A and B are shown apart, each in its own frame.
Chain A
Amino acid sequence: MVKQMAILEGIRILEFGWAVAGPLTTSWAGGYGAEVIKVETRTRPDIIRSFTPFKNDKADLNNSHFFARENATKKSITLNLKHPQGREVALSLVARCDVVLESYTSGAMTKLGLAYQDLVQVKPDLIMISSCMYGQSGDLRSMPGYGMPLTALCGLTHLTGWPDREPCGPYGAYTDYLVPRLNLLAIAAALDHRRRTGRGVYMDAAQLEAGAQFVAPALLQAALTGEAPTRMGNQDPQAAPHGVYPCAGRDRWVAITVFSDGQWEGLVRAMGSPAWALEQELAQAQGRLARAEELDQRIAQWTRPQEARTVMELLQGMKVPAGVANDGRDLGRDPQIVFDGHYARLEHPVMGQVDYAGHSLTFSAAPQRVERSPCLGEHTREICLGLLGMDEEEYARLEQAGALE
């Protein structure tokens, strides 16, 4: 008869988010049971609401698949924070929240009269995290930015691509997808700290500094040896073969990586033990590394006529790390992703059926729950009349005054 308590049940998070890194943080927290309220405005809607792809190519603030994916499991209230009464509503929300996350440019919350020192007046043990590009101090703090350049600034773009070419960088706004993980850790740790000490906290989370954590070995190497590592395609300095090989069909690939002599033996067996692969020199890592390029060509000859999944299954049967390079279509039918129920297909009032991706954690004490993303201001009335206890008259007055835009 023990009631299952969601991991973050009873925790209310108020989000002043923008684009991806902030909103994705709270979306994941929502999946683990927090009640998330996203504060938006019609005067300047969250930019991600206008990002493609749109359902049926129809550009509409409630029709972006991109917004939907990163904003599951939260409510949306519209407030004009530049309106004095809009700000008042925001403050009464803060008073009822445990955590405030904001991801505006540094200084924006202060200009709105919503800095941490303003908010603790109404919520003394508030946990607040500012997740902006460069942090709250330093010359760059108010410089605009977005995920792609941030990926370049922290050294990751330089490390992606082919040694004989300009860097191509990882796809898109890469840092936007590492920052929320660290934000979520910070919020969870701060909640437990508050539970144990009764104290709230203000956290300055610079996305650039989060990104630097993901290149730490390269930074240490450069500082220590004077040598900055560079991009090397798909090679690994200690493992060969280690690459992505062509398969049958248009633009189909399989990744194969050999980290041990045993895995090499498995690969050789899978290829039918051709004479070239039985050379004694190749039985050890050093010999394979010395002839990595040749091995890549040989293996590509072997994979080219085969289906990527056939190669993967055959190699996995031999305990060799191998995986299909899944494309957008494959993901929805990948056996493990299907088994995990990673995509929840939910009905959205404007978009119809939409796939919502889950997060990576499975807690034994309570399941993750993914709810569809909100339309702009969908919960304004519900929150005002419910959580904030307004009567109809007061609500109408605020609406008329433009505070709820």
Chain B
Amino acid sequence: MQQEQSTATSFGTDTGFLSGYRVLELGGQESLFAGKLLADMGAEVIKVEPPGGDPARRLGPMAPEVEPSEAGLLWQAMNTGKLGVTLDLEQATGREVFLRLAATADVVIESLPPGRLGDMGLGYDDLRRARPELVMVSITPFGDQGPYRDYAAGDLVIWALSGLLYICGDSDRPPVRISLPQSWLHAGADAAAGAAMALFHRGRTGQGQRVVVSALKAMERVAYSSHILWDAKGKVMRRQGSGLPIQPLGTTTPIVWPCADGFVVFYIFGGQMGMLSNPALTAWMDEEGLAPPSMKNMDWPNLDLGHTPQEEADRGLVEPVAAFFARHTQRELWEQGVKRRVMVYPVNDAHGVLADAHLAQRGFWVRLAHPAFAQELTLPGPFVKTEEGLCRVGGPAPTLGQHNDRVFAALGLDPQRLAALGGEGVV
């Protein structure tokens, strides 16, 4: 990790894709990623929190020895480049200030329960009166209409209803999700794309609009095989753990393999796809005297796993390959694999990702100094690179109420009024 990417430390640079736009973000963990992505793209994103702080500040993992309101690492990862203000929307004066703020905004992204903002007098129609060209993006579990509209949800429940959960996991245990919430990231990325598309549309038509994101629909796209197998053949897809069965015989070969110090991913493709790796792997195994005749004499382009009996595949292919992988470390297999064009890849934990030489070469990582942390924070760099640096990760997540003075003063609230609002617990 020698080459570090230089990061923007000041806000409001005019060099991003979406520079010049102001985005207000309102809601909990569901909307964090959307706001962060728009900030990466150069928009000025103001995260509006209740005076006690967004509860998402206290979601795990937590950093030890850091004050609790700043210690949440989901929070730190998903709020870079934002300004932060506190505002109590339960109070009438707080709502009044929000309306004034909305009048200066191009986009409001929110993830409150459907209808909640409207009940507070801050729905799309209310905000549109303050700002007719406003784009409002609502991130919801199930949309803002329909039978599930008011249903309670979290990441795992969305996984379940989307069909994705059912096809993930070992066949002898319950279906299983990724142990790091994902639904709001998929929905959040879609929300950011929706905001950018709506801004483009507004630029051409002068028309603002409302955009609703359904996390259910977003995640259904990830469960891609489930519905098509039913549609094509009337068959229910079942979870297979880390193996891949190929029809018609259903011959299953592993995707995840143990190696000397962890796991690697490798798949024994048949046909042309297998030509990319299988002969090179056989030659490599042969150098160590581990290539059996079943592999050395294989007619690889005509290998058809779906028509190979399981026992034959196990004895002739899976067992020798497993024995070979077991002798080598992740790193050996990955480095040699790259050299030899054998498609064997490490199952990285977070340390493995951080140590990835290719990402370091690309100057991917950013390091941010945050006042509450003794160490710098290491985070993923921009998701897209341009020569002009039109997408880049901004400064660290705002501390609680960090930009109240700056943002509210710009609204024309004088320091005395601001102090009074502080006294009333509004900001």
Contacts and interface: CB of A to CB of B under 8 A. Distances in A.
Contact of A328 (B145, B200, B215, B226): B226
> Which size class do B's interface residues fall under?
35 or more
B220 A357 contact: yes
A83 interface: no
Nearest to A163: B179
A196 B379 contact: no
Contacts of B231: 65, 332, 354-355
B360 to A, nearest CB: 9
A177 B61 contact: no
Contacts of B232: 53-55, 65
Interface string B147-177: 1100111111111111111111110011111
A178 B217 contact: no
A253 B224 contact: no
Contacts of A369: none
A339 interface: yes
Interface in B185-200: 185-187, 189-194, 196-200
B165 A325 contact: yes
| B158, B175, B267, most chain A CB atoms within 10 A | B175
B190 A360 contact: yes
A87 interface: no
A65 B143 CA distance: 27
A366 to B, nearest CB: 8
B-side binding surface: helix, strand, loop or mixed? mixed
A160 B157 contact: no
| B151, B209, B267, most chain A CB atoms within 10 A | B151
A244 B175 CA distance: 7
A152 B77 contact: no
A329 B352 CA distance: 38
Interface in B336-361: 338, 341, 343, 345-354, 356-359, 361
B422 interface: no
Interface stretch (B87-95, B239-247, B398-406): B239-247
A276 interface: no
A168 B386 CA distance: 35
Given A7-B201, A209-B381, A363-B194, A52 B152 contact: no
A174 B382 CA distance: 20
B381 A263 contact: no
Interface residues of A, number: 147
A148 B343 CA distance: 11
A47 B215 CA distance: 29
Given A32-B197, A195-B200, A201 B225 contact: no
A186 B385 CA distance: 10
B234 to A, nearest CB: 8
B155 to A, nearest CB: 8
Interface string A191-233: 1110110000111111011101111111111111100111111
A139 B161 contact: no
A153 B198 contact: no
Contacts of B228: 53, 65-66, 68-69, 328, 355
Contacts of B238: 251
A134 B358 CA distance: 8
Contacts of B175: 244, 253, 325
| B179, B223, B265, most chain A CB atoms within 10 A | B179
B329 interface: no
A330 B241 CA distance: 21
A167 B194 CA distance: 34
A145 B78 CA distance: 28
Contacts of B217: 337, 340, 342, 357-360
Contacts of B223: 171, 331
25 contacts: A7-B197, A47-B273, A69-B227, A152-B256, A158-B352, A161-B170, A166-B263, A168-B169, A169-B347, A177-B186, A185-B41, A188-B199, A201-B388, A203-B385, A219-B380, A220-B379, A243-B174, A255-B159, A323-B157, A328-B237, A336-B142, A339-B146, A359-B221, A360-B215, A361-B191
Given A159-B180, A316-B152, A326-B160, 15 more contacts: A65-B228, A145-B345, A148-B267, A155-B350, A158-B352, A172-B225, A177-B186, A181-B193, A186-B384, A195-B203, A204-B384, A217-B73, A231-B179, A234-B174, A340-B214
